[in-house]
Chain A
Amino acid sequence: VTTPHMTMVSGVPFDRFDAPASLTELPHAALASYSSMMADHAAQFALSFDRYFDPLAPGSREARLVQIVWAASPARLASLSDRDRWQQADATRDEQDEYCEWTIARQPDGKLTRVTFTTEVPDYWSHIADADPDLLLDLYHRVVSPDVTIDDLFRDMAYQRNNKWNNATSEGIAHLRQANNTLLAAIDLAATATVQRVGPDGRRIEDRRQLVVCGQLGDSSRNSDPQIADAVNDAVFAGSAVSLANPLGLYLDGIQTPSFVAPDGADVATLWTVERGDPGHAVRARFEVPEGAGYVLGDLTVDGRPLEFGTQVADKVRVRIDALLAPSTTQLVTKQCEALPPSRFAPS
């Protein structure tokens, strides 16, 4: 038996980048060009960061999959009271910055009826727009509204991510649109976080807030950025090189439902329906009571409180990115963080 001259993940060869969630809607040529674009990104980041590896680069390596998860509701709003936080995050998708966005539907009396979540990356949808505008329109018809026109989506031949069917306050949702929620941003964060940061005393920074601020690794007040940065940085320190797994994407890792209570005692987990992707790689899901149940989402409670806001559901939704770790003996790259005071863990 000869070892394949390529990256293996749990015995499976890594030989291409698929569409997010391995969605199959792209025509062959469009999928090939998307795969090629992702491969270029991986190669470029591997060139720039010694401990970020290109899984398609020649060489035998055995990589291990590591899941990094966080909560979908924006941690940036955590200093507000719960009610203010829920209202604010529901009001505009500009606040939904944890690589997960949602839109809500209510019945005329204001009761919540549905929350639809997406982690679909705009990078992928922009590629569809470039490669196959008809497919783009068809997708909008399927997931947003049959009333969408091609003119709604393009301006001066350019796809508008923030079009009226997918903007901050629209009722529909096609894909992520908050400025920080892009796949490229996540890859960049993972690659940049491989660099070790040290204080003036030469000691490694382990506090994640300090790490994120010093390394400019996103926003330290988010759930996602510090979690990705910390996990990657620590894995590298422990002797790994890092990359991101195929299919590249941000995923809905599921919903934690035990704290929800339905009026009829139904299993609330059944209200979560994956609409795009599969349960292991969900990129779009809705939380909704099926017709005929005699009640709607707003009749549930969560943590003992009435379910009134989509963000209450987002508090229980997990978002995930899949990283790959491969053993590495490449020298650690370190950068000094001048502004840091001496570590309290330094010997006196």
Chain B
Amino acid sequence: MTAADLAEHASPPHRACTQLMVSGLSDDTVSRFALGLDERPLLLTADDMAAELNDQFAVRLLRAGIFPNTAGEVLQALAQVNPGGPLSKQLFFLLGEGSQVPADAGPVQRNMRFLIMCGAGQEGPDVVVSSFHPDQGMVELAAWDAAKGGFNFYRTMPDSNAWVFAGNSRHALVPPTRGQGPFESHVNGNMLMKELKKPWVNWDSPFAHIPASALAAQGLDSHPWVGRLDPGGAYTLEDTGIRPAIQRWTAARVAAIEAGIGAGTGSETPVRMLEQLVSTLTINLASSRSSSAPRLPTDPGLNTPIDLPSTFFVDADTLEMLGLPTPDPLGVAPTIYNQILSELEVRLVDGASFEVAGDTKFAFVVPERSFEDVSTLTAAKGVLVTARLLACLLMVDFPNPVFSDRRSALLGHFEAVSWNGSPDTFSNAVADAINSSPAASTTGSPEAEFSANWAAGEGFVAAFTPRLESYYKKVAEQLSTIDGFRDVYRLAESRRAHVKLMPIFETPLLFSVCNLPPERLRMTESATVEELS
């Protein structure tokens, strides 16, 4: 598989966030520059802002004539306008893809940055700031807009204290702003945290704190925010920040559809949510909880299997939500894992001079279905679509929970199905659209696979359970042999190659690399790995 091959499967051409950097904007102003919609920054008047910007950052600062220039000034201003209130509760987090590499390993591109969460209530933060230093002028900021729902995305400009409003989460969902600017990576308008499950390879957390030597190597040992890092790190951020924020936006999306906003007019419909099920617009990264470092001969757990994320093998989180069985914990013997690392010359590189043998700090980092997808489908189930439809779509090519060409091929059949307020009617219409397609009568086609699934009727759990359980048994058998795990590792590399074409791939240290040639692979229901034609 070449990069060009993979690019065919990536997002359409887009205008990246870097295009938001414009010079010459006047101080103390706010402009809207929603790429795809605006050709140039549009200066917002007070009335424009009142109509469009109703998040805490805009209401309390920008609309009140306060224009902070640096990240430190933003945080200070938020605390000053809300003394003792939610905005003055500011939690600091640190991440970096090379953050866990010890200092004596030599120079390495650690890509360290801070994320600051302000006003974290039960539904997540009001304002999230991403920056490297309090004095840094290049600030990216997202703030929840309670009036229209969704996050407003902002950034500062390089040569003034002007702010640019780059769009609201709703812009992410529809053309011409879909995939543009911040929505290149915030594809569905959501907060991003690549790893939304412990042990969080790249975050400071109770599972792996960033060593003092790494901080010192980056000159961060006396950084004013290091002493303020939340002791729970990613454990706090995930549970109290990002997951609730994602669920908040998801709830707003569902509520908007239920309320009939934009129904059938090209604005969001449940089809956009089903697209998240059949396609892979976003991913999260999962890993083993086991360190990839060699175990000592005296380790009581010397031969304890290295656990592998079940979501690599099947869409476990969505299956569970639908009442379908998930695998028992899966793992590989350390001897097999280490043999494959050695055979495939697995190593970490930073794209510059750094290179060491071995895997990421926690073993086997792979893409999984994103939490925002799971959250969206959970919220849609029974309200917008039936569990039966979700299950029947999900069970098409189920051994490939992400980057499934077979499942995404179904989207074209139901993109035009409109929403009339009934989950049953809508779901039946989607099923009819697929079942009535000519391809549904072609043996082996994804449409035929869906039709067979749909024929299970409301008894889909009983029908799908034996297929899943048989598959899980075969996966466990594969993992018990060197050849089987080699194939699994090849499949992992194939999926990582997809991620490397996504905007969230910002540094080579996100994954380990190896000597395998590029391949496009898929898992079969018999748990064998085969090349895609």
Which A residues are within 8 Å of any B CB, using their own CB? 64, 66-71, 78-81, 203-204, 206-210, 213-214, 220-221, 223, 227, 230-231, 234-235, 237-238, 253, 256-259, 267-269, 304-305, 316, 318, 320, 337, 339-341, 344-345, 347
Contacts and interface: CB of A to CB of B under 8 A. Distances in A.
B206 A80 contact: no
A69 B124 contact: no
B374 to A, nearest CB: 8
Contacts of A220: 299-301
7 shortest interchain CB distances as A-B pairs: A238-B212, A258-B244, A345-B105, A207-B293, A256-B239, A67-B231, A69-B231
Contacts of A258: 122-124, 239-240, 243-244
Contacts of B244: 258-259
Contacts of A235: 212
B296 interface: yes
B212 A234 contact: yes
A237 B213 contact: yes
B294 interface: yes
Contact of B101 (A68, A70, A345): A345
Contact of B299 (A80, A213, A238, A259): A213
**Residue from B124, B206, B212, B301 whose CB has the most chain A CB atoms within 10 Å:** B206
A339 B301 contact: no
B243 A259 contact: yes
Q: Is the interface of B mostly helix, strand, loop or mixed?
A: loop
Nearest to B379: A304
B15 interface: no
B211 A304 contact: no
Given A208-B291, A213-B298, A79 B329 contact: yes
Interface in B325-355: 326, 328-329, 331
14 contacts: A79-B307, A79-B329, A81-B329, A206-B211, A208-B291, A210-B296, A213-B300, A223-B206, A237-B213, A238-B212, A258-B239, A269-B122, A344-B356, A345-B105
B206 A69 contact: yes
A221 B301 contact: yes
B104 interface: yes
A303 to B, nearest CB: 8
B438 interface: no
Given A208-B291, A340-B296, A234 B209 contact: yes
B333 to A, nearest CB: 14
Interface in B237-289: 239-240, 243-244, 289
Contacts of A68: 206, 231
Interface of B: 101-102, 104-106, 122-124, 206-209, 211-213, 216, 221, 227, 231-232, 235-236, 239-240, 243-244, 289, 291, 293-301, 304-305, 307, 320-321, 326, 328-329, 331, 356-358, 378
Contacts of A269: 122
Contacts of B239: 256, 258-259, 316
A227 B235 CA distance: 13
A11 B320 CA distance: 52
A78 B289 contact: yes
Contacts of A340: 294, 296
Nearest to B293: A207
Given A69-B235, A237-B213, 13 more contacts: A70-B206, A71-B235, A210-B294, A213-B298, A213-B300, A220-B299, A234-B212, A238-B212, A258-B244, A269-B122, A305-B320, A337-B296, A344-B358
A280 to B, nearest CB: 13
Contact of B236 (A208, A221, A256, A347): A256
B206 to A, nearest CB: 5
Contacts of B378: 304
Nearest to B124: A258
Contact of B296 (A67, A206, A304, A339): A339
B206 A71 contact: yes
Contacts of B299: 209, 213, 220
A305 B317 CA distance: 11
Contacts of A341: 294
Contacts of A203: 104
A69 to B, nearest CB: 5
Contact of A69 (B212, B213, B232, B293): B232
B110 to A, nearest CB: 14
Contacts of B206: 68-71, 223, 227
A256 B242 CA distance: 12
B107 to A, nearest CB: 12
B101 A238 contact: no
Nearest to B102: A206
**Residue from A227, A269, A344 whose CB has the most chain B CB atoms within 10 Å:** A344
Contacts of A208: 208, 291
Contact of B329 (A66, A80, A267): A80
Contact of A238 (B216, B227, B232): B216
A195 B297 CA distance: 21
Nearest to A228: B206
Contacts of A237: 212-213
B122 A257 contact: yes
B67 to A, nearest CB: 31
A210 B361 CA distance: 13
Contacts of A204: 102, 104
Contacts of A214: 296, 298
A200 B388 CA distance: 59
A267 B289 CA distance: 32
A120 B122 CA distance: 28
A66 B124 CA distance: 25
Nearest to A219: B300
A259 to B, nearest CB: 6
A304 B331 contact: no
Contacts of B243: 258-259
Contacts of A337: 296
A316 B216 CA distance: 32
Contacts of A206: 102, 211, 213
Given A235-B212, A258-B244, A210 B321 contact: no
B328 A339 contact: no
Nearest to A270: B122
A75 to B, nearest CB: 8
Contacts of B297: 339
Contacts of A223: 206
A101 B214 CA distance: 35
Contacts of B236: 256
B106 A347 contact: yes
B298 A318 contact: no
Contacts of B289: 78
**Residue from B104, B289, B357 whose CB has the most chain A CB atoms within 10 Å:** B104
A147 B321 CA distance: 44
Contacts of B298: 213-214, 339
A253 to B, nearest CB: 8
Contacts of A305: 320
B356 to A, nearest CB: 5
Given A304-B321, A337-B296, A339-B296, A231 B209 contact: yes
A234 B104 CA distance: 14
A4 to B, nearest CB: 23
Contacts of A209: 291, 293, 295, 299
